[in-house]
A and B are shown apart, each in its own frame.
Chain A
């Protein structure tokens, strides 16, 4: 099983600032990684697939990068609606596995 490790667990950021979230895979997964956003009481929403491609209707302030074992989600200028939980997920091999999540909170 591929273990996905996200850091930090919590990120405190002021509105308008940049947020950088990390996700590490325990073995190489090429670019078979996605990022989801989850707000309280809601289902996850797909943000980024293929490590760097924005999903439909996702604002350009969200960007993803990385390949192999190290991945980054960057939110260039945080808006109030961006304060949420973020999860990475690998789909390189079964079982599908998620990171434990990064909470982005208001500083």
Chain B
């Protein structure tokens, strides 16, 4: 069974840091590009970051560029999101999601985790 399980969500102070993890199983992680998408309470979906199959190409939304860093460890079947300089507006459920199909093109998501909650508040 294909599974994505996020972890690392927590309460953080403004200006603080968190690292999210997404452990995958049931498919060959190393041939799929991956993304992070977030959803603030009561709001719509917002794409956050994407990473290529090999990890050499990374994409970020303007709202997180320079503060968040996406990475992956293909030997551990795990995707990461390092979140620094957190702001109240980063409060959201963070989903990791697999890009549909192998390779680095046509970035839409066919498998999603259940999400992990990040709350930024003093």
Contacts and interface: CB of A to CB of B under 8 A. Distances in A.
Interface string A31-49: 0101010100011111001
A32 B106 CA distance: 8
A7 interface: no
A45 B108 contact: no
Query: Which residue of B61, B109, B112 has the most chain A CB atoms within 10 A of its CB atom?
Result: B109
Contacts of A100: 44
Contacts of B44: 87, 98-101
A89 interface: yes
Interface string B30-42: 0000010100000
Give the interface residue-count category, chain A.
20 to 34
A96 B106 contact: no
**Chain B at the A interface: SS class:** strand
B33 to A, nearest CB: 11
A97 interface: yes
Chain B contact-residue range equals 20 to 34
B32 to A, nearest CB: 14
Interface of A: 1, 32, 34, 36, 38, 42-46, 49, 55-56, 87, 89, 91, 94-101
28 contacts: A1-B62, A32-B106, A34-B108, A42-B114, A43-B95, A43-B97, A43-B113, A43-B115, A44-B37, A44-B45, A44-B95, A44-B109, A44-B112, A46-B108, A46-B109, A46-B110, A56-B110, A87-B44, A87-B45, A91-B107, A94-B59, A95-B59, A95-B61, A96-B108, A98-B47, A99-B44, A101-B44, A101-B45
